[in-house]
Amino acid sequence: MSQEPPKVDLLTRGERFRKTLKRFAFRGTLFYMGYSILLLWWPKQRGFNYRLGIKGDNDVIVSAHRCGSYDGLENTAATAVHAITKSKPRFLHVDVRSTKDHVPILVHGDDLSRPCHQGRFTEEFNFKDLPKVVTQEIDIPFMANADGSPTMYKVKNLDSKKIESLEQLLKALNTTDDPENRTWLQIEFKGKDEEMIREAHRLLKEYKRANRTFWGHVDDEMSIKLKKIDYNMPRVASPGEVHTMFIKYWLFAYPYIAREVHYKAVWFPYVNESFKANLRQQYGSSKYKNVGDGDNWKYRLRLRLLEFMTMTSGPLFRHLHRCGILVMIGVPNSIEDYEDCLKKFNGTVDCIMTDRPGLAREFLEQRSSKLEKKTEVQPSSI
């Protein structure tokens, strides 16, 4: 019986090396992804959410967007005081821009067309020369009527007739009854005037508000400068940082660098019809047109990206929540919006930013009461 010749390994040294390299790369990738998922689910940090009273997964706080622009003229001290005394939000959100003489003022747009019916920019005026507020009604951008038109706030006689400064707001807050010091400021800077930001920081120190203020900037470069001005003040991530965070998350890299981030809160948009209308206008399409043919391609791309980010946000936002980084969602403005927002983000929301803080607080109190009753009933049914 003839014996079979021994098998000869015909692979060259280079082929064996490539085969081994592929095997190690595959196993290394599996280990990298698996360990990333473990870090995503079991972080070891705590942060500001615990200090703000968010001690359970169902605890949600309220931020009054533009001081609560449904109940009063946006970004004014009177509206802020009304919110604190009536609605009791945890945060007062304000937009801050600069004047020619670097005074921090409370205004949203870079021009004065909405409140003053003037197309000139805020930085063209010294503070004392700012025009009066002459509008009789002003739109609430993230609220729409049934026909799709924007909801308008009717300006009252008691509303401020002048663009106010950040210092005026701080003075009003210091004389407002807030015995537990529960209300924090959330400042959103706009524009690139670093001198104005340093002046705002000085005022926050002077009025003893720096330890109860989150600040952020819509520009990535300026947002990093906030960290350099005061490293200890909690910062809200800029939109660019949020996009980078999602890219790293999709690449399974975010948990590895999470300890290196320097922000304490992230803001993410709630996509409803009002948000779509504003986004459509931002990209040059007709504001109240339905999604479909004729929409700007940039708008459609941005909308699809936001929808995909929302769909995949669960594990990331849960990770941020457990790390103590606040997850803020804005700007829902109705009971239906609040319910949909909490359902869509599935227990990962720490803060709802809304123009109607009173309504949001009532909704959350009723929700909390229902959850407590449900918890009490469960043991007896076992």
First to last CA, the chain: 75
* pLDDT at residue number 380: 46
* pLDDT at residue number 38: 63
CA pair distance 137, 114, nearest whole angstrom: 9
Q: Are 118 and 207 in contact (CB under 8 A)?
A: no
Written as one string, the DSSP assignment of 326-350 is: EEEEE---SHHHHHHHHHHHTT--S
Q: Which residues contact 210 (CB under 8 A, 6 or more apart)?
A: 201, 204, 230, 233
Token readout for 363 is 């909704």
Integer angstrom CA distances of residue 365 from 58, 84, 91, 362, 371: 11, 17, 17, 5, 10
pLDDT digits (tens, 9 = 90+) for 210-243: 989 999 999 999 998 998 999 889 999 999 999 9
pLDDT digits (tens, 9 = 90+) for 9-32: 555 666 766 777 777 777 767 766
Each domain of the chain, given as residue ranges in start order, spans 46-368
pLDDT digits (tens, 9 = 90+) for 308-325: 999 998 888 888 887 888
CA pair distance 270, 250, nearest whole angstrom: 20
Distance, CA of 309 to chain centre: 14
pTM: predicted TM-score of the whole model, two decimal places: 0.84
* pLDDT at residue number 382: 39
**H/E stretch holding 242:** helix 239-250
Q: Are 97 and 110 in contact (CB under 8 A)?
A: yes
Mean pLDDT score of the chain, rounded to an integer?
84
Please say whether the structural domain 46-368 has been given the CATH code 3.40.50.720.
Answer: no
CA pair distance 378, 372, nearest whole angstrom: 10
pLDDT digits (tens, 9 = 90+) for 138-161: 999 888 887 777 889 999 988 889
